[in-house]
Chains A and B, each alone.
Chain A
Amino acid sequence: MYVIVVGAGKVGWNLARELLEKNHEVTVIESNRRRYLTVEQELEHNVTYGDASELWVLERAGIERADLVIAVTGDDEDNMLICQVAREKYEVEQIIARVNNPRNKPHFDLLGVKPSVSATDLILRLLEHEVPEYGLVHLLDLQEEQLEIIEMLLGKDSGVTGRRVGDLSMPEGSLLISVLREGKGFVPNADTVLEEGDEVLAVLDPGREDDLKALFGPAVGGNGTG
């Protein structure tokens, strides 16, 4: 595979190393003369000097026959436009763009530059994975009346998404009272089908939390009370 990497910073340089080790053909384009000379000592003819925003620089690097263009400079506009011309003018099959400022992500999407990778997003996704997602939030504790109301967010691997409310075996002493979907709340009936991202509200006898968590949490084997 022929890969063009734009930007010989830490990301670009290491990426090029990995790709070369895997026996791909690689050209790195770097616009800073000093950085270019440093990287050139190791990558030799695999790195070229120039501003990849300019079409002739891309053409000199052989973009017409590239299978993949990866833009990982520190400048979001550069990354966006390099990938845009790579795909639309030179019909490169696959592109990957780096997003430096996550607030620019919508601009990448608007210009059709996909996929785009943001380090901030990756860390967030990791966090979501590592931190328990099915935390249930106590909304109301009626101590005297011996009742609680709790809220749960249905994650991707929840055991109940796609199922009818009527088919759920709700633990004894609990009742599903409301579903919040896309900012709107409604009272579910037996035919309501639960979706990923729903926030469900339930009223229950104290001490039933674990049973509910097992039912609405990630599907494991035969899920809890099911």
Chain B
Amino acid sequence: MLAEGHEVSCLDEDPEAHTRLEVGLDKGWEDLGGRFTVGTGLETDALIAAGIESADAFIAATNGDNTNIVIAQIAQKRYEVPTVIARILDPLRAEWYRQQGMHTICPTRVAIDMLESAVREGAAREAA
């Protein structure tokens, strides 16, 4: 998204994550216009430092479902970010929160669907 010219700000509790951002880039993350803040999504100060108050879109994609669901609601309800997306691995909860109006992405669901169609394709080829 940075390459497309958007302004991108990352928040991570691990300072090392910054190194990962620069993998495959020929310039530094900041040199390309990116922002990076160290902190957790439950800390209001960290969210503000990362620029949540002026964000057009907010993505909660930590490795914890619960954290993502909580932060996404904070972004939606407290900071009124227009587009909020949460990564939720648990398909049941991803579905329920989607019904409650949250934009959710469930990687488990996506993987199941892809595996299923791969199996079906394989079986169809076998039969042919």
How many angstroms between the C-alpha atoms of A107 and B40 in the bound complex?
A: 14
Contacts of A76 in B (CB 8 A): 42
User: Quick check: B96 and A81 within 8 Å, CB to CB?
Assistant: no
A111 contacts the other chain (CB 8 A): yes
Given contacts A77-B66, A104-B42, A111 and B73 within 8 Å (CB-CB)? yes
Q: Write the nearest CB–CB distance from A78 to chain B, whole angstroms.
A: 6
User: Quick check: B70 and A81 within 8 Å, CB to CB?
Assistant: yes
Number of A-B contacts (CB under 8 A): 43
Q: For the complex, count residues of B whose C-beta is within 8 A of A.
A: 18
Contacts of A88 in B (CB 8 A): 100
User: Quick check: A53 and B70 within 8 Å, CB to CB?
Assistant: no
B74 contacts the other chain (CB 8 A): yes
- A binding-site residues for B, Cβ under 8 Å: 53-56, 75-78, 80-81, 85, 88-89, 103-104, 106-107, 110-111
11 A-B contact pairs sorted by A residue (CB < 8 Å): A54-B93, A55-B90, A55-B93, A77-B67, A77-B69, A81-B70, A85-B93, A88-B100, A104-B42, A107-B42, A110-B73
- 5 more A-B residue pairs beyond the given contacts A54-B92, A78-B66, with a C-beta to C-beta distance below 8 A: A77-B64, A77-B70, A88-B100, A110-B74, A111-B70
